[in-house]
Amino acid sequence: MSDLELHLPGRLADPNSNLETDPRADPRIVDALVAVGGFAPGLEPLPKGASYEECVAYCNTFEELDAKAHPALFAAMPPFEGIEQTTEIIRGVDDNDITLHVHRPKEVAGPLRCVVHTHGGGMVLMTAADPNYVRWRGSLASLGMLVVGVEFRNGGGTLGNHPFPAGLNDCARAVQWTAENRAALGISQIVVSGESGGGNLALATALKAKREGWVGEIDGVFAMCPYIHGGYADPPPDLLSLRENDGYMLECSQMAGLVRVYDPSGEHATNPLAWPYHAEPPDLQGLPPHVISVNELDPLRDEGLAYYRKLLAAKVPVVGRTVAGTPHAGDMAFPDIAPEVYQATLDAIHAFTRSL
């Protein structure tokens, strides 16, 4: 091995590297993960080439194991006494019900900036009612914004099985409903924001809105650690982070299985509405301002940065942001472990809404 290879980051230099041994990692986050037995403890990894049925079963097991931590996470949540929480149920384009979780500051003066939040989970698992997303919406609302959390249909899990484009249709309808009710909600600018699979849905909602002629209803997009390539079964060589950070919370084999749940036939592998990474300049030109925020130690880091560069080339106003020392979604997943990192991303979203 050459001197250069020895100094490559992560698993590019050492195939046995992991988040616990990587010197770039925030030690507080590492200690927290070690204390609970790692990411998704007790979950058996998906085998390469797993069937659709195996992948759906994986989603169900993930949610069952994740739910065991929910009581403790709700108990640790701040009271958010200055926030009012309500729900709205709207009709989707497929004649389905969509629940919206609305968080609003009780003391308001004038129109509020609005964030429509699309939660993570690879578009196939977890729910907007999960404690980490409840806390995220409450934290954003505490900064003086109205936040709408979308309970979209998932590809798998308790809100499945609804492959693409069901979840995207729900997110798009939620944004349209929010725009239609600006006056009643007392809001001004609308920003669509999400992390991981929610980052995919935030970006795809903007692409869908442009394609359908209503992109003017969206004032901005803030996508965090977006999961947007889709080709994880055979990672492309230009997205080095998929090899550099493989196994750092997320594994390519795991993500390939989630892709199968979202798009069982694989027919949408290069459809930008399913996988925004594949958007071409005509898809991007004329989009509203974006922020693409990635995590340094995330396998998904480089696909997010690639999308940022595509937006730049398409002359879309865009800011790129890398959160050092953090794994996938590490700037929103550890509010009590790395509070200043959590707060910095909240502040960045707030500042973005105010800049529009």
Q: Which domains does the chain have, with CATH numbers?
A: 3-355 (3.40.50.1820)
What is the sign of the dihedral through the CA atoms of 223, 276, 128 and 232?
negative
pTM for the whole thing? 0.97
Instruction: Summarize the confidence of residues 327-342 as an average pLDDT.
Output: 98
Tell me: pLDDT of 354 over 90.
yes
318 in helix, strand or coil? Answer: strand
Q: Check residue 41 and give its pLDDT.
A: 83
Query: What span, in angstroms and rounded, lies between the C-alpha atoms of 235 and 247?
Result: 13
Cα–Cα–Cα angle for 347, 348, 351, rounded to 5 degrees: 85
Query: What span, in angstroms and rounded, lies between the C-alpha atoms of 12 and 235?
Result: 14
pLDDT digits (tens, 9 = 90+) for 31-53: 999 998 888 888 888 888 899 99
pLDDT digits (tens, 9 = 90+) for 6-15: 679 999 999 9
Q: Check residue 166 and give its pLDDT.
A: 98
pLDDT digits (tens, 9 = 90+) for 102-124: 999 998 888 999 999 999 999 99
Instruction: Summarize the confidence of residues 222-238 as an average pLDDT.
Output: 97
For 43, half-sphere exposure in the C-beta direction (CA atoms, 13 angstrom radius) is 25
pLDDT above 70 as % of the chain: 98
Could you tell me the pLDDT band of residue 5, with boundaries at 50, 70 and 90?
Answer: low
Structure tokens at 70: 């929910």
Q: Check residue 40 and give its pLDDT.
A: 81
- Tell me what the pLDDT averaged over the chain comes to: 96
294 in helix, strand or coil? Answer: strand
Could you tell me the pLDDT band of residue 196, with boundaries at 50, 70 and 90?
Answer: very high
Q: Check residue 6 and give its pLDDT.
A: 61
Tell me: pLDDT of 304 over 70.
yes
In 3D space, the residue among 102, 344, 59 whose CA is nearest the CA of residue 197 turns out to be 59
